[in-house]
Amino acid sequence: MNNFYPYSKPSLDDDDIEAVIEVLKSDWLTSGPSVDKFELALSSAVNCNHSVACSNGTAALHLVMMALDLTDGDVVLVPAITFLSSANAVRFVGAEVAWIDVDPQTGLITEQTLLSAIKKNRGKNLKAIINVHMAGQCNHLESIYQIANENNLWVIEDAAHAIGTTFTNSSGDLSKIGSNTFSDLTTFSFHAVKNIVAGEGGAVTTNNPQLAEKLKSLRCHGMTAKPEIAPWYYEMTRIGYNYRITDFQCALALNQLNKLELFKQHHKKLVHIYNEVFSENSFISGIQTSISCDPCWHLYVSLIDFENIAIDKVSLITKLKDLGIGTQVHYIPLYKQPYYKERYGDVSLIGAETYYQKALSLPLYHSLNENDCYRIAKIISENVK
C-alpha cells in the first residue's frame, strides 16, 4: 500500500479551519462566547443540564475529584484497563486507587468485577467509582449505578472515548453518554485523536447545579466574581487551577460536535468491515459488543490469539508498520506502571491480563475509506495465522 494508515487521526475540513479563524479574528481568545456556545451545545447534545469545558480530559477528571472533595485516605475504584489519567486524577487529590478487573472480551468493568473489587476493599474509605467507556463502548450503566448506590459510592463516567454513545436501559429507555442518567458526573476529552477534537480539550457534564458551580470556580483559580460587592470584586474561596479552555479550541470542538453523527455512522461501517473480514479467521476478532449499548466507536480494538499463532505481538506490529498499517495497544494494565507497582505492590488481574495479551488497536478514523479499511483488514487477517 502506498499510504501510511495510523491507528487514529483527526478529521479536519475547511469548515473546521474557518471556525477557528473566525475566532482568531475576534476580540475573545479565551473565556469568551465560543466557550459558552460550546458548553450549551454539549449540554444539548448529551442531554444534560450543565457542561463545564476545560483544558483537557485529565483536568476534567481532576476537577471532578476536587468538586467531590475527595482527599487523603479516600479510596476510588478504577478499572485496571484505562489511560493513566483515570487513576492519576485520584492521586492528584491524595486519594488512593483500588483496581477493578475487566471483562477480557470487552475491556470494560462488569457488575461482577465491581462487586468483587468492593468486597476486596471493604473496610476502606471507599468513596467513588470511575466507569471508563473503553473504545467507545459502555457496560450496563444502570446495574453499575445501582451497585454503586447500594454501596454509597459516587459514579463518575470517564467518557474520553465515548461522546456520541448511547445506552438502553432495562425498560427500553435510551440515554446518551454524558446525560448522567446513571451517574453523577461525566468527563470527556477532545484530544487530537478523539472522536471530536479541539487539539487539547475536555469537559465535565452534570445535572447537579452546586457541583457545576464548584467545577467552574475550580477551573479558574477557585475564584468567583462578586459584582454585587463591586464591579471588579472577586473572591477566592478554595484553591483552584487554571484549567480554562480557549475560544478557538471551543470553536473547533463545536464544529466537530455538529459532525459527530456522521463520524459515528462511518466508524460503525468500518467496524463492520473489520468484523466481517475477521469472522473468517478464528485467531482474531473485534471486542465483543453489548446489546444495551450503541457505541460511537473511538477505537477498533482487535483481540488476537497470540498464544496459538506463529507471530508474536511485537513482530506483528513491526510487520504491519512496514506494510503501512499503524497499530497501538490500549492499554497496559495500570497496576503494571512502576509508580503504581511501588505504591500498591504486585497486582495481577486475570481479565486485564488476558485482554492486554490479546489487544491491538487497528486504524479507525473518519477519512479512512471503506475500500482501504477492507484491504487493511485483509492484510492483517493474512498475517494472523
The residue of the chain with the least Cβ separation from ligand PLP equals 57
Among 82, 88, 106, 166, binds ligand PLP (CB under 6 A): 82
CB-wise, 83 or 263, nearer to ligand PLP? 83
Beta carbons of 128 and 70 less than 8 angstroms apart: yes
Of the candidate spans 157-165, 168-176, 302-310, 314-322, the one that interacts with ligand PLP by CB under 6 A turns out to be 157-165
Q: Smallest distance, Å, CB 276 to ligand PLP? A: 27
Helices 33-46 and 247-257 sit at what angle, rounded to 10 degrees?
30
191 binds ligand PLP (CB under 6 A): yes
Asked whether position 189 contacts ligand PLP by CB under 6 A, the answer is yes
State the nearest-atom distance from the C-beta of 101 to ligand PLP, in Å: 17
Q: Which of 75, 81, 118, 132 binds ligand PLP (CB under 6 A)?
A: 132
- How many C-beta atoms surround the C-beta of residue 343 within 10 A? 12
Burial class of residue 143 in the structure, from the number of CB atoms within 10 Å of its CB (0-12 exposed, 13-18 middle, 19+ buried):
middle
CA contacts within 13 A on the Cβ side of 126: 24
Q: Which is nearer to ligand PLP, 55 or 381 (CB)?
A: 55
Q: How far is CA 152 from the centre of its chain?
A: 24
Q: How far is the CB of 309 from ligand PLP (least distance, A)?
A: 28
Site for ligand PLP in 271-300 (CB under 6 A): none
72 burial type by CB count under 10 A (0-12 exposed, 13-18 middle, 19+ buried): exposed
Alpha helices in 200-259 (DSSP H): 209-219, 247-257
Q: Which is nearer to ligand PLP, 84 or 323 (CB)?
A: 84
Among 134, 54, 184, 181, smallest CA distance to 296 is for 134
Q: Which of 8, 11, 56, 181 binds ligand PLP (CB under 6 A)?
A: 56
Considering only 39, 96, 103, 158, the residue that binds ligand PLP (CB under 6 A) is 158
Query: Angle 319-323-324 (CA atoms, 0-180°, nearest 5)?
Result: 120
Considering only 79-87, 94-102, 212-220, 369-377, which stretch makes contact with ligand PLP by CB under 6 A? Answer: 79-87
Binders of ligand PLP in range 87-116 (CB under 6 A)? none
Q: How far apart are CA 217 and CA 239, in angstroms?
A: 9
Cα gap 211→111, rounded to integer Å: 27
Considering only 53-61, 136-144, 235-243, 300-308, which stretch makes contact with ligand PLP by CB under 6 A? 53-61
Taking CB under 6 A as the rule, does residue 249 contact ligand PLP?
A: no
Quote the least distance from Cβ 79 to ligand PLP, whole Å: 9
Residue 156 three-state SS: strand
| Member of 8, 11, 51, 58 binding ligand PLP (CB under 6 A) | 58
Kindly identify the residues of this chain, within the stretch 311-370, that bind ligand PLP according to CB under 6 A: none
Per-residue burial over 120-142, b if 16 or more Cβ lie within 10 Å, else e, is ebeeeebbbbbbbbbbbbbbbbb
State the Cα–Cα distance between residues 169 and 36, nearest whole angstrom: 31
Q: 83 vs 154, which CB is nearer to ligand PLP?
A: 83
**Does 83 engage in binding with ligand PLP (CB under 6 A)?**
yes
Please, what is the minimum distance in Å from the beta carbon of residue 51 to ligand PLP? 15
Query: Measured between alpha carbons, how far is 132 from 205 in angstroms, rounded to an integer?
Result: 15
Give which of 245, 180, 161 is closest to 46, Cα–Cα: 180
* Cβ-based neighbours of 338, under 8 Å, separated by 6 or more: none
CB of 92 to ligand PLP, least distance (A): 12
CB of 296 vs ligand PLP, minimal distance in Å: 14
Among 11, 43, 86, 217, binds ligand PLP (CB under 6 A): 86
57 makes contact with ligand PLP (CB under 6 A): yes
> Which residues lie near ligand PLP (CB under 6 A)?
56-58, 82-83, 85-86, 132, 158, 160-161, 189, 191, 202
